[in-house]
Chain A
Amino acid sequence: MQHAWLMGFLGGLMIGTAALTFLVVNGRIMGVSGLIGGLIDRSGWGNGWERIVFLFGLFIFPALWVRFVAPVETNVTRNLSLITIAGLLVGIGSRLANGCTSGHGVCGISRFSIRSIFATAVYLLSGVIAISIFRQLLGVI
């Protein structure tokens, strides 16, 4: 268990360093829902390549890792109805709230943004309620 915490902290430092690079070098907030959302609604086409290249790196390195370094267990459900509902909720929710775990959680909290702290508290609480209902109470996930 403690090993997982340490690896979590190390991986977290890597994620934070990625966000630091994107802010200090590129002058941009590393929020994945905003980076994708701006490509979809065209508001981010002005710096589209910066977004696409970032997302490509985010996609390709984990894929290369499982191919050449070590297998990774993801334990993502194969229930495609559940996947679709969750994907819609994550897409709509992150755009309505203007941010997700990376934007509000990592980049927002660290600048003491009251909106981001509020959003993070709400989505963590909502997640706890959802897991408690659907896993502990109903046993469906």
Chain B
Amino acid sequence: MLRLISALFAGSLFGLGLIVSDMVNADRVQGWMDVLGNWDPTLAFVLGGAILPMLLAWPLSARRGKALLGNTLPGPASVRIDWELFLGAALFGAGWALVGLCPGPAVAGLGLNGTSGIVFLLAMGLGMYLTPHLRRRFQKPAMA
């Protein structure tokens, strides 16, 4: 029960943070990438502000060895850089730029973006559902 309350708190605070920082505004997100046009640096301030508490959170949780509610912590970060990481990040960045939505703001914007918000989330979910199948298809020739 405490885990669910904490998760609800975290999700709610994330949603409000996206409103306060105006990251639900596609113009601002696309403005960050529009370096040849009217460049808007706000996103860098958001990312910087978000990283600061996490710079404390990682050593803090590592020193305790487990989460406050007793769960095990995430394992060490993988160091493997491969084609899937590169291709995935490249496709993700292009989709993010095209309409200014990534998964967090897509969920936060579900109640703000009308039909577009619903269609985006459905398409994103379909993409996520298809990914393991695509991955298997692309790996087959390599294994043969």
Contacts and interface: CB of A to CB of B under 8 A. Distances in A.
B144 interface: no
Q: Main secondary structure on chain B at its contact with chain A?
A: helix
Interface residues of B, number: 115
Nearest to A69: B19
Contacts of B143: none
Size band of the interface chain A makes with B:
35 or more
Interface centre among A61, A76, A109 (most CB of B within 10 A): A76
Given A15-B46, A83-B120, A66 B111 contact: yes
Contacts of B94: 89, 93, 126-127, 129-130
Contacts of B3: 25-26, 50
A95 B52 contact: no
A106 B47 contact: yes
B15 A92 contact: no
Interface in A1-45: 4-30, 32-33, 36-37, 40-41
Interface in A81-124: 82-98, 100-102, 104-111, 113-116, 118-120, 122-124
Q: Main secondary structure on chain A at its contact with chain B?
A: helix
Interface in B72-124: 72-74, 77-81, 84-104, 106-117, 119-124
A6 to B, nearest CB: 8
Contacts of B16: 11, 14, 61-62, 65
A106 B123 CA distance: 24
A74 B26 contact: yes
Contact of B36 (A7, A63, A105, A136): A136
B69 A25 contact: yes
A102 B104 contact: yes
Nearest to A64: B111
B54 interface: yes
Given A5-B45, A58-B12, A115 B80 contact: yes
Contacts of A51: 7
Contacts of A130: 33, 93-94, 97-98
